[in-house]
A and B are shown apart, each in its own frame.
Chain A
Amino acid sequence: MVRSTYDEMYDAQGGCRAHYQAFARWLAATPSELVEQRRREADLLFHRAGITFTLYGDKQGTERLIPFDTIPRSIPASEWQQVERGCIQRVRALNMFLADLYHDQRIVKAGIIPAEQVLANEGYQLAMQGLDLPHDLYAHIAGVDLVRDGDGTYYVLEDNLRTPSGVSYMLENRKMMMRLFPELFAGQRIAPINHYPSLLLDTLKSASLVDNPSVVVLTPGRYNSAYFEHAFLAREMGVELVEGADLFVRDDRVYMRTTAGPQPVDVIYRRIDDAFLDPLAFNPDSMLGVPGLLSAYRSGKVILANAIGTGVADDKSVYPYVPEMIRFYLDEEPILANVPTWQCRKPAELSHVLANLEHLVVKETQGSGGYGMLVGPAASKAEIEAFRARLKANPAAYIAQPTLSLSTCPTFVESGIAPRHIDLRPFVLSGQQVRLVPGGLTRVALREGSLVVNSSQGGGTKDTWVVEDSTVASESREV
């Protein structure tokens, strides 16, 4: 891989890329005080609307604002089509993998994935074995994390098949940009995304075999870091936002408690992890879930989106096999590349990793949110040695990847406008068809040189534009 950095806006010669030219002209023509004033306005509006998150481990439960950057990340439509096709292909294969894994296990029998790798995996749920789901769908909502290396190639960094979050920021960022800078949207054709909640509702309804099913969003409650998003999506879809205590199971059916008595529930868009769904089947101390939910689910009387047990497919130790899954199930070549990955559970690969820690990124197979990982080039000697000890103690819990440079995008920082590293999370909805709204959530690492974009670690977000090429072409002719 090339160790130079790809910039979304400027090419290697410093010229502005075609799909950014309209924006660049606008930026040059707009007084910087005005842009600055609008940025402050955005902060105020986000605060007032309560678009906040809470940090894990923050006992005060302080609500924080995710920094919003007003310079959009822009993708030409032709390039987006490739990304979109790649995401659809990948999520289709992952859903087929889950259906296969919980039924015939053909991929294991074919020797493509070692049985122990998946069956002894903590994400593998015995409760799902042999259970038939409508349309064989497991991950109805998936988030695919993409980064670009030095030459601009898109790589899939990880798949999120459990309860991917962030889509509310994608939608709110667009709303904010349209409110602050309507002239930008008048001047070029930017693909709309605000129909996402209706696509989501459509996806959730189609997950059930019942006519006009009743849908709810299940949240762990308002102390959860993503509560804003749960409330936002429920409101946008026009469905109830429920907590575990609002639901109960009777005769294999799930009901919610309302002022007009019990009302049946057919589809639960759950934003609670597997382990907390049913205290009678999983973690007994969990007060977040619904006792008896698993038995109702196994009787087919309620749909969970996503299904239980999807975690086995987005586990980082299973990630290296995704390209093989695409070939095996779809008989296609992967459109989106995987980042080369060393599996530390294999002794030969472990020793390579141990010898090259200062160049590699090492991640926990089960981790998320940028915790428990080592970014070799950015780590101190002591940090590397501490990590080496952890790695040696339990190699199977880690994978390692080369340090990707991650593309940059111009971003407002204290000193003005400077390039900062970004990633992209498109949200893939699997129902009758597999669909995405154009773009996704762009996260930006606000610290100079940082490659960690997670909001819990000081990341911000940007609006993501898919700009139609026809406009790009006509705009560039004018230039």
Chain B
Amino acid sequence: MNRFFDIPSDLQHSWLGLIGLHLREALLPVLAGLVAALPLAQLCVRFRWLYPPMLSLTTVLYAIPSLAFFVVLIDYTGQTELTVMIPLAVYSLVVLVPAIVDGVRSVPPETLAAATAMGFGPVRRYVQVQLPIAVPAIIAGLRVATVSSISLVSVGMLIGNQGALGNLLHDANIYHRPELAVNSVVTTAVLAVLADGALVLLRLLLTPWMSRGTRRRKPKAVQARPDAAVPALEDAAR
């Protein structure tokens, strides 16, 4: 068990240090993706014709393997953390845009009409009515983006040891210490599960108005437009 947490010195971090690094490399891109996705999604809701091409673009971007994405960036940003974080931010963005669009669109038209009738302006209506009702869908997207991001950071090991917990894999390989690989896999998976759980908790806190029954149901949009939602919900790790 001692050897399990005995991190080789070439990694220049303790186990907890690697976890901190890993979380930073994984979560900052998700945050950046969310910040960029909100206005983009709003554009797609506003201009309906924009959504189908946007969907095709997100599907294509999401298909590009992470390693290919990383190495192409090396020419611009070098073998740095940023090179890992930019693709992760893009992946988060392309998961979140459809999730937010579907969420905002799932707001019943009569609710919107009622809000307008009560004198809500467009901005106020978006922030106080549409966005809160879209929270479950947005969080569903965030869960996929976060878990996927945490898993993908490890691949950063291949471009100059930028993989945080993933760097343990390299050492496990060259020093023949399988327990380091187990450590990496288990720690990463636990981080992913914990982050996922935290987001579920967040949703419960943000949506006290949802009944237990509807909480478990997927938004209707998922069933109506399977092609849009499924890649976003299913290709988590790559």
Query: Do A and B share a complex?
Result: no
